[in-house]
Structure 1
Amino acid sequence: MKRWLSAVCLAVAVTGVTHAKTFRWASAGDVQTMDPVSQNESFTNAMNSQIYEYLVARDKELDIVPSLATEWTQDGPLKWTFKLRRGVKFHDGRPFTADDVVFSVQRASEKTSQIANYATALGEPKKLDDHTVEFNLKQFNPVLLEHLNAVFIMSKSWCEEHKVTKPQDFTNKEETHAARHTNGTGPYMLVSRQPDVKTVLKRNPNYWGKIEGNLDEVVYLPIINPATRVAALISGEVDFILDPPTHDLERLRQVPNVKVIDGMENRIVFIGMDQGRDELLYSSVKGKNPFKDVRVRRALYQAVDIETIKNKLMNGKAVPTGAVVPSPLGSFNDPEIEKRVPYDLNAAKKLMAEAGYPDGFEITLDCPNNRYINDERICIALANMWAQLKVKVRVNAMPKTTYFPKLEKLDTSMYMLGWGGAVTDPETTFTPVYRNRGPQGQGFYNYGNYKDDELDALAAASTRESDPAKRKSLIKQVFLRHNAHVRHIPLHRQFIPWAARSNVSVVHRADNRLKLYWVTVK
């Protein structure tokens, strides 16, 4: 506490305004890259969103609000016009103009961008004047504003100067200036970056908007070990942890000067399987692929005792579902879509025998160990459950910085993935996760590389349908076909409680983004 009292007293004495000198926080994993479109990973996006901004932002309730764009109009189904905020400067003093918007959308559409499917859905950006941009769409986009809230705006001249006009190829371990240096318009500026050690930010003194919090300096510390993370919070070494272990929550509620901030996350955790190759990379089965047989996929699904995972591993802090979509709003809370295939070990064994695998097989399950709540423990639990089908699972757990590039190369036979964020509309799940892999980023996260032309056509049709009732019907058809063919094995939507020192005030949003400009330390 002495550190905080001295910092506050110093700020008051010098400026008359209560600013916290330093705010230290931690979670299990680190930012993958500071290039804001190279990796579409939630924590990486969250950190970059302190530095870079979108044309539209989200408020405390996740509603879309103006940001670098102050207003917009829609002239028919295929044209949008945005007025840009005047007087905004990038961190190095360069003025923000329409040229930066056009450039950023085009950059985000490149092959090495992981949000290419969102950026291309915005159509063709066109500068009308320095503070007006027009988007001309090739087809109707029912969630254009949601897609805009995925494209960070960068300085065109800064990118040209530092030879980063294309996003970093993170998958192939490319190093670029934008991977460790930034130049945004946001409320915080990057001071230093030591991957897997420490990232330091400072308050932007020339920020155009209002910073409600009182943080001057922010230090982020990745702490992989859960017990070490909790100990750091209790001792006051850090002021906030994003991912307290679920089994420690009740203990933390009893610790003096510590509080737990409860909340659910818009995130579905599920298992994917290689359904593309004729022979799996990591399996004892040779000459064929058992995951191409829906009976095998359904058997594995039916052998998942989801209530045990919910109650024993997640301490009740999870909502089992049969719908691979982050929020129940995306499935219209439809019980038919949300319904899970029931846990039935005998039925699962029968399906395995019918498929020709009564004695099971060996398979490797790739899993992150620092990305989702209890990710490695869930994978180990699944391995034990599938052992009852005589399926011998080797859990291959690794840090997310190694894990995601592995998946991006489709170097996997079976994998865990979580999908979430602020968007509740299913479009931003369908196009990247459900669809066949395509040239403009469609199906990029279909790491199982299944090809289902009917599912792909239904998802594509729902993307461009302008009639709400017809679109809802198409969306339901997408879900039902996906579920019937068990393209993924859904697990649960996770809760994401945060923990903080009692003198820290934060805004907990369902996208699990800690927004620093709302943080106050008393």
Structure 2
Amino acid sequence: MNQFLRFSVAAAALAAATFSASAENVMRWGSQRDILSLDPYSYGSSFTISVLNHVYEGLVRYDDKLQIAPALAESWEVVSPTLWRFHLRKGVTFHNGDPFSADDVIASFTRVSDPASPLRGNLPAYKGAKKIDDHTVEITTTPNYPLLLNDLTNIVMLDKKWLVENHAEAPTDAGKGVEGYATTHANGTGPFKVVSRRPDAETVFEVNKAWWDKPRHNIDKIVFTPITSSATRVAALLSGEIDFTNEAPLQDIPRLRATPDVKILASNELRTAFFLFNRKDKLVASDVTDKNPLNDLKVRQAMYEALDLDALQKKVMRGLSRATGSMVAPAIPGYTEAMDQRPSHDPESAKKLLAEAGYPDGFSFSLVCDNDSYVNEEEICQAATAMWARVGLKADLDVGPTSLQTAKFESGKFDVGILGWANEPMIDSYSILVQVAHSKTGTSGVFNWGSWSYPEVDGLIDAAGQELDRAKRLALQSDALLKIKSDVAFMPLHQQPMVWATGPKVESMVQLSDNKPRLWMARMK
């Protein structure tokens, strides 16, 4: 079924449902992409997790000022350099009526920290958890780890009884196609519960009237519809078929701003988009077969100098992104102004560097990009392909949906690709350092897709992970970021824009710099 027909069928069904329940406040959310799974541990996708945060909750959460606040844990204390004690909220129930207790916390940590869990990297210092009583849990970490609470904002609680009854104790992995009961079913404690799901078509959430917290929202139902076509998504907003999109196309902002009753919420988010390299012994698809040219610093410098970041910012990103040389946004702890320096666009210098490296005629390589993950990613990759071609670098562009491209990245079947990193849930540069820059060891380097390794950088990261003095910790992290910058380990492009749009039925919407919709903070008219 084509995109337009699928959307029309979904819209017709929605119209009928709305007519039969006209008293309901229905938030119709149109997104560029679907979530990867109903399992919140299935993949480290900020977007998937942000949608599932309407269903599942952690021990702590970020409030509307991005400050850590109690959630399923009412309070906590640090018992020793390696031990934290959490006191759980009483009277909380899962959507199926099961009571929330310490057993669920232990089962959740066991599942998310499993070696097969794609989200294990979100708990880099976790060693174990112990039940003290039904409402008290102790968590053991590596010594003096300073960011446990930040990590826990993204580690949600699942119902142990529900997991066992449905043989879902083992983690799933959306990137590797490993599925289970939790892939298609959900049972959280959050403000909304899943009542139906048709992947790539529609997911319906209804308000959880038994939610432990006092609702700020007045929404009875959320109808989440992936609409991959930008034109169709805009048309749906303007016609009133959807009420909200978290991905308004950049090229349509002037038109939307000029439309009565349509409100635009726009800013730059925390996420930095960057090119990354496969650093294995040989490339996946290249006319150079005896070695990997990307392991030569001069080649990486040439590739960066061949990119015109100002042109990408003005033309591809419509002037709304923030071009940068830094792997982290200025708001992320660990950032320094020195990181923002970037090479000038200099094709002649790039050609000279390639010749010095032994590739006067350039070489070919694969460029793997998504078409539904980051803002205008396909257009970025098309523009970069043209820029590289001018210096003799021949990129074989491979564009596809995240559901297909993720497996290529995880298996290392790419030469160059794009990754976007918002440093969530930590909101700290330790996130990108331990998960992306660190060598792949244990829970570190989960997103080290190209097998790069910098032992000196690893040492700085490991030291930062045990430093309680914030100033000293951030100095270590800044040093690590500057070292990978000097070696052009990655090619930062920009902090990407976030543009949301709401229709006339939406009264208020909270937009934070982590770019996560929080509809439990929204209100309908």
Counterparts in 2 of 1:254-293, with a 5 A limit? 254-276=258-280, 278-293=281-296
Partner AA of 1:75 in structure 2: V
CA-CA distance at 1:431 after TM superposition: 0.7
2:186 alignment partner in structure 1: 182
Question: Mind listing any 5+ residue stretches in structure 2 that lack a counterpart?
Answer: 1-14
How far did 1:123 drift? 3.0
Which AA in structure 1 matches 2:207?
Answer: R
Correspondence list, 1:285-364, <5 A: 285-325=288-328, 327-330=329-332, 332-364=334-366
Task: Give unmatched runs, 5+ long, in structure 1.
Answer: 12-18
Distance 1:302 1:331, change over 3 A: farther
CA-CA distance at 1:313 after TM superposition: 1.0
Q: CA deviation at 1:333?
A: 4.5
Superposed displacement of residue 170, structure 1: 2.4
Question: Which secondary structure does the structure 1 equivalent of 2:74 belong to?
Answer: strand
TM-score normalized with structure 1 length: 0.94
Deviations 1:20-77 (A, max 9, x none): 1x22111111100111111110111011111110000111111110000011111232
- Match of 2:109? 105
Q: Which amino acid aligns with 2:138?
A: E
The answer (yes or no) to whether the contact 1:109–1:120 under 8 Å persists in 2 is no
Alignment of 1:432-443 (within 5 A): 432-438=435-441, 440-443=442-445
**Cα distance in 2 between the residues matched to 1:293 and 1:53:** 45
Equivalent AA in structure 1 for residue 119 of structure 2: I
Q: Secondary structure in 2 aligned to 1:271?
A: strand
Correspondence for 1:393: 395
Code of the residue aligned with 1:503 in structure 2: it is K
The answer for the alignment partner of 2:497 in structure 1 is: 495
8 Å Cα contact 1:263/1:509 also seen in 2: no
- The answer to whether the 8 Å contact 1:34/1:180 transfers is yes
Q: Say which SS state the counterpart of residue 123 (structure 1) adopts.
A: strand
How far apart in 1 are the matches of 2:85 and 2:449? 36
Q: CA deviation at 1:410?
A: 1.4
| Equivalent runs, 1:15-164 vs 2, <5 Å | 19-20=24-25, 22-164=26-168
Residue of structure 1 in register with 2:450 after alignment: 448
Asked if the contact 1:83/1:133 (under 8 Å) is kept, the reply is: yes
Structure 1 residue 10 displacement after superposition: 5.2
**Residues of 1 paired with 2:178 and 2:427: CA distance?**
33
Kept in 2, the 8 Å contact 1:105–1:119? The answer is no
Find the aligned partners of 2:495 and 2:367 in 1 and give their Cα distance. 20
Question: Is the aligned partner of 1:484 residue 2:479?
Answer: no
Residue 233 of structure 1: SS of its match in structure 2? Answer: helix
Residue in 1 that maps onto 2:372: 370
Alignment match, 2:8:
none
Q: Deviations over 1:110-147 (max 9, x none)?
A: 12322212335233211111111111223221111011
For each residue in 1:482-519, what CA deviation from the matched residue of structure 2 results, as whole angstroms up to 9, or x when unmatched?
00111111100011010110331211111111112112
CA distance in 2, matches of 1:518, 1:474: 37
Secondary structure, aligned partner of 1:26: strand
- Does structure 1 retain, via aligned residues, the 8 Å contact 2:270–2:332? no
Work out whether residues 32 and 229 of structure 2, in 8 Å CA contact, stay in contact via their aligned partners in 1. Answer: yes
Q: Does 1:459 align with 2:449?
A: no
- C-alpha distance in 2 between matches for 1:154 and 1:360: 52
Contact 1:331 1:337 in 2 (8 A): no
CA deviation string 1:187-239 (max 9, x = no partner): 11111111111111111111111221111111111111111111111111111
In structure 1, what residue type is equivalent to 2:166? H
Note the C-alpha offset of 1:331. Answer: 5.3
Could you say which residue in structure 2 is the equivalent of 1:16?
none
Give the equivalent residue in structure 1 for 2:513: 510
Percent sequence identity over matched residues?
38
CA distance in 2, matches of 1:8, 1:147: 43
C-alpha RMSD of matched pairs (Å)? 1.8
Deviation at 1:7, TM superposition (A): 7.3
Partner in structure 1 of residue 11 of structure 2? none
